[in-house]
Every structure is written in structure tokens, then in C-alpha cells.
Structure 1
Amino acid sequence: MSLRMLFALAALCLGGALHGADNTPLPGDSLYHLDVTLTDQDGRDFPLASLRGKPVLVAMFYTSCRYICPLIIDSARGVEHALDASERDGLRIVLVSIDPDRDDVAALKRISDRRRLDTGRWSLVRTDAASVRRLAAALGVRYRALADGEFNHTSELVLLDADGRRRASSEASGPVPVESFLQATRALLNASRNDPPGD
């Protein structure tokens, strides 16, 4: 086999790894139909649809929030800590900023570092204002900018399956997760071990 063919084969394999091996059509109610680009706390850009492949716990927040948003992080961590090691490895946690004007990569990184979040599982992300509105609408999150630069917003955690379909939700409740939401998360993680995306 020629060197050129080896490089082409390697590029094809790498592309499949980056974009996910599953090319089956998304279900009609998948969040991943939204054409949204996210930027994480390390400055990496990725399409929303690249989250496909494993369950995702997603919430919306902003970094300068002093009351509700720390509770949102505590709630997501509470779910994470209640899972066993194999369950944790199957779950991704994504927090989307509702404040793209102020929440640049440095602001996201600061919160990630301060809260000692495992960036192997956690992504704090930003996107443009129009995409924030679309994501909030799709997730059922309500928010409103206030005159002082703060936001009124709901504190919902949303559990998505591997295909980006909403499977459960819970209001942020602190480090002890709501039992019904934790059970739904565990059930989805266990089911995902056996069922490939698209089933």
C-alpha cells in the first residue's frame, strides 16, 4: 500500500472518530437538528450535533451569576457524584452560557478551574445570541436580561439521550439530586450501553 493511500485511510478513520461513527438519520425530536456551533472553556469549537453518541446532561447558566447558577453546577455535580464510575464515564455534562456578550472563553475557563470540573466530562460553552435563544426554546429554558446586566432564568437540568432527545428534566436542587431524575439518568445510561444511537 502506498504512503498516500495510508495517509488517506488514516484521515478517513480520524474523520469518522471526530464526527461519530453513527450516520443514521436523527430522530425528528432531536435537539441536534439545530445548526449551532459551541465554543468550550478551552477555546475549542464544535457543532452541537457532535455531542451525539452518549447521554448528555445540559443546562443553561452564566458565569457572573451569584445565586442560581452555582446551584445549577452543584446539582449537576450531585448527579455526577451519585453515579458509579462506569455510569459517570457514560455521561457528558454541558453548561451553555446565556450571556455571550460577557462569557468569553476566559470567563468559562475561570469557572471551570474554580469549581475543579473534570473537563473530560464537563464542557462550559458559549455561542452567539441567536443560537442561545434557539437552544433555550428547544430546552424549555426561560431567561430575560435585566437592566443591571443580570438575568432572570429558570434552573432546569435536561437529560438528553444519545440521539439528543429529551428524556427527563429537573429543577436545580443542590448537591443531593432529585431521586426520580437520578433514576432516569441511571436507566438511560444503562440502556445506552446496549443500544446504539438511532435505535
Structure 2
Amino acid sequence: MKQLLLLLVLMLPFTTTHATQPLPGDSIYHLKLQLTDQDGHRQLLAERRGRPQLVTMFYASCQMVCPMIIDSMRATRNALTPAERAKIDLLAVSFDPARDSVAALHGYAEKRKLDAPAWTLARVEPAGARQLSGVLGLQYRQLPDGEFNHSSELILLDADGRIVARTSHIGRLDSVFVEAIRRQLGGT
């Protein structure tokens, strides 16, 4: 019994999780953002720590670029092997929380066949959307007609929330970006 206890005590430093380690200074998880997903579940952005994330920002009523962003995200995920897909999460956060209610996000996910848990469509409060877009290096502005002019990028985060790769290739697969994801997943 003493030997087992000693073995457990010696293993303790090697069994720490990401959550017990301090966040790197350049982690987006320093943002204190509350996400609400397409099913009404709430979680802090930092709770996504521990797994690489493929992240973008969009708005559900967009008829032109945002569907291409989501299609590019899907194509990128589909370019991975099933084992690789199981190691990465997809997060699309709305920068239009006034119109993108939980019901709107849920309807969008159903229409586009974006199944949880792989896909998370989320909303945050307006100030949170602005903070997140700033940290991710994405820009958006609302136009007088209610539509948005915005950046179109996919961003890869490591398990600690650091940006490790990005692509602005929307509407077609970016093989260099897929390889960056593979390299990141190889280290997880």
C-alpha cells in the first residue's frame, strides 16, 4: 500500500492538466467571455482550453461570404483524417448578437447540417464580440442596411488558445493551412 501511495505522489506532477497551468500571455482565453451556443448552453471561452480550435466569426443572416466561410471550415475539417477530426473543435462566433439569438443559431446549424459537438455556433454580448474580433485580428462594421462588412478568415488556436495559423483562403481549401492543423494535432 505504501508503494502505491508513493507511486501516486511521484506521478502527481506529471498528471497536471492544461487547466492547472497558467495561461500563456498571448492566449485568447484571457478574455472573460461568456459564449452561448446554438443549443442554449453557456460556457466561458476559457473552458474550451485543452483542445485545438478552428475558429471564425460570422453572422447567420449573411447571404454571401459567411456561407462560404462555413463551407471552407467544413472542407478544412473534411480534409483531415477521422482521427484528426476527433482532436479538433470548430467554433464560429457571431458578431451580430442582436439578430443571432440562440434560436437563429440553432436554425442555421440545422439548415447547414452543422452537428454538435464538433460544431459550436455561439453568440456573445456586443462588447465581447468586439473584444474577440480584436484579439483574433478580425474586423467588422455594420452597414446602414444592417448587413456587415467583415474579414473572412479561419484561425487555428492551439490547446492553450494561442493563434498558431490562419488563412484568408475562403471558398477553396488551403492545403498549407490543413498541414498547419495536422502539425498542431500531431503535438496534442
- Whether the TM-score (by the shorter chain) exceeds 0.5 is yes
Which residue is equivalent to 1:16? none
Which residue is equivalent to 1:143? 140
Which residue is equivalent to 2:6? none
Pick one of 182, 189, 194 that aligns with 2:185.
189
Counterpart-to-counterpart distance in 2, 1:96 and 1:39: 9
Which residue is equivalent to 1:95? 92
Task: Give the stretch that moved more between structures: 111-120 or 39-48.
Answer: 111-120
Q: Is the 8 A contact 1:157 1:170 kept in 2?
A: yes
AA aligned to 2:184 is L
What SS does structure 2 have at the residue aligned with 1:53?
Answer: coil
AA aligned to 1:158 is I
Which residue is equivalent to 1:110? 107
Q: CA deviation at 1:171?
A: 1.1
Counterpart-to-counterpart distance in 1, 2:182 and 2:115: 20
Which residue is equivalent to 2:48? 51
Which residue is equivalent to 2:13? none
Counterpart-to-counterpart distance in 2, 1:179 and 1:187: 12
The aligned runs of 1:53-92 (5 Å cut-off) are 53-92=50-89
CA-to-aligned-CA distance 1:163-193 (integer Å, 9 cap, x gap)? 000000001422x42011000001101111x
Counterpart-to-counterpart distance in 2, 1:155 and 1:61: 8
Q: CA RMSD of the aligned region, Å?
A: 1.0
Q: Taking every aligned residue pair, what percent have the same amino acid on both sides? A: 49
What SS does structure 2 have at the residue aligned with 1:22?
Answer: helix
What stretches of structure 1 of length at least 5 have no aligned partner?
Answer: 1-19, 193-199
Which residue is equivalent to 2:176? 180
Q: CA deviation at 1:21?
A: 6.3
Which residue is equivalent to 2:168? 171
TM-score w.r.t. the length of structure 2 is 0.89
Counterpart-to-counterpart distance in 2, 1:172 and 1:67: 15
Counterpart-to-counterpart distance in 1, 2:64 and 2:137: 20
What SS does structure 1 have at the residue aligned with 2:60?
Answer: coil
Counterpart-to-counterpart distance in 2, 1:99 and 1:117: 19
What stretches of structure 2 of length at least 5 have no aligned partner?
Answer: 1-16
